[in-house]
Structure 1
């Protein structure tokens, strides 16, 4: 079994929101074969705690506005070093670059298929103009 179309759509919305807020090294893995609890892990890096918070807020806002979705769980936002947003079928990990290197989630899930995200760089550039 692979990730549902709904999970893929949510993943792409979240990834684009993260990209628009200058998220780094954005990757998604189809973990549906390996885990029974979710379909997709989306992993995003940020260079500082403030940016982690901004990316998390942007992802939440985009999914509320465009998919009428709120996370069932949000963890780690007190320190903003690694924030997890759980949307049941999709789990978004926004990590400070140091945590990303330390925990190396890509290495843990390297056997799972990567999901093409097709991020719109023009959208990200427009977001920069708005700030």
Structure 2
């Protein structure tokens, strides 16, 4: 799968677990470490873990290499390394504290609306 297909897989899996405020930043021109950073919020620790589990399960099904999953036990900020797509699943207060969208504000937003159900 190319990075855009992995991005689609991540967004659909997260949306299926009701992740909130999903944003994809296209960072390929700013950083050599990834093509996309995907940022989203879960309403509780349990929901953060469910979102992470859904993304990891779908990655396994699709044969996407999972570099690592960090922070799952605490479920305040979980990072999933899918190679060219790095996923950040936050609790709301942690997302606001670290404000990755502002940190990477030079990165354009990727269009993901077509993969998110209303």
Deviation above 6 Å: which 4+ runs of structure 1? none
Query: Secondary structure in 2 aligned to 1:94?
Result: strand
Query: Secondary structure in 1 aligned to 2:86?
Result: strand
**One of 54, 58, 82 as aligned partner of 1:58:** 54
- Where in structure 2 are there 5+ consecutive unaligned residues? none
Matched positions, count = 117
Would the aligned equivalents of 2:23 and 2:109 in 1 still touch at CA under 8 Å? Answer: yes
Would the aligned equivalents of 1:60 and 1:70 in 2 still touch at CA under 8 Å? Answer: no
- Distance in 2 between residues matched to 1:8 and 1:108, nearest whole Å: 22
RMSD, aligned α-carbons: 1.4
Say whether residues 1:82 and 2:67 are aligned partners: no
Say whether residues 1:101 and 2:100 are aligned partners: no
Would the aligned equivalents of 2:11 and 2:116 in 1 still touch at CA under 8 Å? Answer: no
TM-score by length of 2: 0.93
Say whether residues 1:72 and 2:67 are aligned partners: yes
- Distance in 2 between residues matched to 1:41 and 1:50, nearest whole Å: 22
- Where in structure 1 are there 5+ consecutive unaligned residues? 123-131
Summarize the Cα distance change of 1:38–1:28 in structure 2 as closer, same or farther, 3 Å threshold: same
Query: Secondary structure in 1 aligned to 2:115?
Result: coil
Larger radius of gyration: 1
TM-score by length of 1: 0.84
**One of 26, 29, 32 as aligned partner of 1:30:** 26
